[in-house]
Each structure stands twice: as structure tokens, then as C-alpha cells.
Amino acid sequence: MLGFTRGDVPDYQMAAWCMAVYFRGLNSRETHALTDAMIRSGDTIALGAALGRRVVDKHSTGGVGDKTSIAVGPIVAACGVPFGKMSGRGLAHSGGTLDKLESIPGFRVELSIDDFVSQVRDVGLAIVGQTADLVPADKKLYALRDVTATVEINPLIASSIMSKKIATGADAVVLDVKVGDGAHGKRTLDEARVLAEQMIDLGRRAGLEVVCLLTDMDQPLGAAVGNALEIREAVDTIAGDGPPDFTELVLDACARLLALSDLGIDIAEGRTRAEAAVADGSATAAYERWIAAQGGDPDVSVLPDAPIVREVVAPRDGVVVRLQALAIGIAALELGAGRRTKEDDIDHAVGVVCRMKQGDAVRSGVVLAEVHARDDASASAGADAVLAAYEIGDEAPQMRGILLDVVE
Ligand code: URA
């Protein structure tokens, strides 16, 4: 791992190793050793000790429309709990928090360790990327996995996530383990429990308290899928005007993070305080302070807009029986919201907004979704792909809610 980080082990050998892990797996001792090597590829931060506070963090295994951290961070910070987080970029069909944040003009995801620590101390919140100093092995391996079909491997997901959490020195973490169609590998609930246990085990070895939320990813989270579109939705949600499923996940994660913090409160009180921070505008104020501290403009009117917005309409009356998360994620990627090769540039403006979700009754001709595209050809291809992701039937589906289980 250190040889790969230095450039002594070329990408093609590392890609072959990832594929070997895909087929053979890693046992828990090997996963632990890999996580340790990834942490030791750079410096580490004792964030809690530097602040004299208990620091909390959150991370997701990756889903479609998952902008949760961008809404959770400001709410938790507004409640007086320091939130310092290292995120990742898009992986395969799932978007990445860093790519989303970079749709904000001026926003810098690379901070020095000193700047990261002082921002969490002074502003209460910082979200950064892996750098040459902090978990550089994950930065390189993550980018390689993204384009070599080696994302959906539990030990690689667990070590990637936990190396970042341990290296940045959080004391407690809430992990969002996605379940269903849009989760990497279309993970089932039982498979999600296995991944959760692996991450809890890695956390325990490092003295890090870990709570795993197992959440639904059969359909996209919220409405927006695509970088700038998701920033807008996160900002609306922080202000109390978000889609119901996304709002519920954000508030639940905040409640648990506050209960894990040094405030000495339980989950119910955490929920009350998170809701109050949304209602009284302090979460929005925390968002604006945070974005400005990292060089960005918090005004959503400066976010890039796609030149073409194509509506996708319902072909018949009925109810949305399925809205396939994976297909919507791939449609957004094909529009340019994600990368096909490591060198690809992201188009921050494009994506999909799912106006109708599973369980919604629709009339023929009503708008199911909007495709935000760069040109006519990609808008047409995107609209076809999005329509194919919707299944309209006659009977309302069984709804399972966003939170499926908690493992701790
Ligand atoms: N998030 C990460 O940081 N790494 C993964 O491998 C998947 C999601």
C-alpha cells in the first residue's frame, strides 16, 4: 500500500490486486492490516484532543442522491458539537460529497491539517478530501476502484471509510450503510449487517465508537441526483424545506450524532435540538459560515445551471411502484455528473430531479422527473433512461421507510 502511494506499484498491478480481492475477499486480520496501512500512508490528526472536545463524524457507504453529510454537518455544528469530516469523490454510479461541494464556486476541499483543525475549532465544521498528507493511499485507491469495477467489495469499502474516520481523529461515528438497488453491489439487509459489523470491528480496534444506520437505497434519496442540484436540495433541507425521506434521514443521523457527543443528551433530546436548529435558522447560518470559511459562496443563485431541462412525463395513470436507484444513478453519470475514467471532468450542473417517488399516485402526462442536461442529445438519452427507471402500476407498493435497522 505504501509502495502504491509512493508510485512504486503501478495502477495496473493495483487494479489486478483489487480484482483478486473481489474474487477472494480479505479476512478480518487482512482487512485490519489494510486499514492500518492506509492510515499510515499519511499523517493523522488527534482532532478531539486538539479541540478538547469529543468530535463526531458521519459517513455513507455510497448511494444515489446521497447529500446527507452536507445537511447533517451544519445542523450538528449549530447544536454546538464540532464536526470534522473527510469525504470522498463519486464512486461508480454514486455521487461523492467532494464533487458536490466543488459545484459551489470557490469552495476548496483541500485544507492543510492545521487549517482543518482551526476551522473545526473556530467555525465548528469542516469537510475535506484526502490529501498528500491525509490518507493519500485512499485517495489513489478510491480513484482506481471507481474506474475498474472494484467498488463493491466489503473489505475495500470498510477500510476506505474507516481509515478516513480513524485518521481524522473522531471519537464517535454514525455510518449510513445503504441497502437495495442503488447500494454498491445491490446490498441486501443481511449483507449490510455484515459490512456494518466489519466497520464496527475496525472502529472498536481503534477506540472509535461506531453506530451503523441501515437505510433504504432502493430508490434515490430525496429528489435531486447530480452535484449542484443536490447542494440546492441540502440547503433547502437545512432550512426545513426538504423532501420527507431525506429530511427524516438527516434528522435521525443528527439526533444520534448529538447523543454520541459530549452534550450528555439522549437521542430524543438530540432530535428536538436538531429540529430546533432547522426551525430557528441557526443551521442555515452554520452552513453559510462553513461554506465561506472554505472559500465558497453560500448563495445558491451562484450554483451552475444546466442549459436544458427536459421533463419526463407519466405515460399512464397509476402509482409509482418502483423507481430504480441504480438506473437513475447511471443516467446522471451518463449526463456527465460522474466519471467514466479517472481523468474525466465532472459537469456540476447536470443531473436528474425525481419529482415523483415510490408510492406517489400519478396521472397520465404529469411530470415524473426533470433531466438537467448539457445538450439536446444527452437530454433525450437521459429522458429515455429516466422513464425506464420508473415502473407505473395499479397497486400501491409496500413502503419500507428510510431507516431499516440500526447496528451498534
Ligand atoms: N465511501 C468511501 O469513502 N469509500 C468507499 O469505498 C465507499 C464509500
pLDDT of residue 185: 85
Q: Is the CB of 159 under 6 A from ligand 1?
A: no
Active-site residue flag, 164: yes
Residue 365 CA to residue 121 CA, distance in Å, equals 52
* Half-sphere exposure of residue 143: CA atoms within 13 angstroms, side-chain side: 19
Our answer to whether residue 364 is catalytic in this structure is no
Ligand 1 binding pocket includes 61 (Cβ within 6 Å) = yes
Whats the size of the chain, residue-wise?
408
Residue nearest to atom 6 of ligand 1 (CA): 157
Confirm or reject: Cβ of 91 under 6 Å from ligand 1: yes
pLDDT value of position 104: 98
How many CB atoms are located within 10 Å of the residue 336 CB? 24
Q: Where are the alpha helices (DSSP H) in 41-101?
A: 47-51, 68-78, 97-101
CA atoms of 311 and 322, how far apart (whole Å): 19
User: Whole-angstrom Cα distance, residue 171 to residue 52?
Assistant: 12
- Answer whether 88 contacts ligand 1 (Cβ < 6 A): yes
Exposure string over 65-76, b if 16+ CB within 10 A, otherwise e: bbbbbbbbbbbb
C-alpha cell at 341: 475514467
Q: What Cα–Cα distance (Å) separates residue 328 from each residue in 5, 48, 250, 334, 390? A: 34, 39, 21, 10, 9
Pocket test for ligand 1, best of 59, 69, 135, 154 (most atoms within 8 A of CB): 59
C-alpha 373 – ligand 1 centre gap (Å): 27
State how far the Cα of 50 lies from the Cα of 272, in Å rounded to an integer. 29
Nearest CA to ligand 1 atom 3: 161
pLDDT for residue 208: 95
DSSP run (H or E) holding 32 = helix 28-40
CA distances for 117 relative to 87, 205, 311, angstroms: 15, 24, 44
Number of H helices, E strands in the chain: 16, 13
What pLDDT is recorded for position 95?
86
Contacts of 225 by beta carbon, 8 Å cutoff, 6+ apart: 64, 65, 95, 328, 329, 332, 337, 351, 352, 353, 354
Chain-centroid distance, C-alpha 280: 26
pLDDT at 344: 84
Catalytically annotated residue among 57, 66, 138, 216: 138
For 263-295, b/e burial (b = at least 16 CB within 10 A) is: eebebeebbebbbebbeeebbbbbbbbbbebbe
pTM of the model: 0.96
Ligand 1: atom nearest CA of 94 is 8
Residue of 160, 177, 217 to mutate, ligand 1, most atoms within 8 A of C-beta: 160
> In the beta sheet, which residues pair with residue 57?
173
**pLDDT, position 130:** 82
Q: Quote the ligand 1 centre to 164 CA distance (angstroms).
A: 9
Residue-wise pLDDT tens for the chain (408 aa)?
Answer: 889 999 999 999 999 999 999 999 999 999 999 999 999 999 999 999 999 999 999 999 999 999 999 999 999 999 999 999 999 888 888 889 999 999 999 999 999 999 999 999 999 999 999 888 889 999 999 999 988 989 889 999 999 999 999 999 989 999 999 999 999 888 999 999 999 999 999 999 999 999 999 999 999 999 999 999 999 999 999 999 999 999 999 999 999 999 999 999 999 999 999 999 999 999 999 999 999 999 999 999 999 999 999 999 999 999 999 999 999 999 999 999 998 877 789 999 999 999 999 999 999 999 999 999 999 999 999 999 999 999 999 999 999 899 999 999
Active-site option among 58, 59, 165, 273: 59
Q: Is 160 near ligand 1, meaning CB less than 6 Å away? A: yes
Look at phi and psi of residue 207 and say left if phi exceeds 0, alpha if psi is from -120 to 50, else beta: left
Cell numbers of 375, please?
445538450
CA distance 95 to 88: 9
Distance 280 CA to ligand 1 centre (A): 33
Find the largest Cα–Cα distance for the chain. Answer: 60
Q: Hey, which residues does 214 pair with through a beta bridge?
A: 177, 405
The Cα–Cα gap between 121 and 115 comes to 10
59: annotated active-site residue: yes
CA 406 from centre of chain:
18
Tell me if 65 CB under 6 Å of ligand 1: no
Is 160 among the catalytic positions? yes
Q: Residues 406, 211: contact at Cβ < 8 Å?
A: yes
Q: For atom 1 of ligand 1, which residue has the closest CA?
A: 61
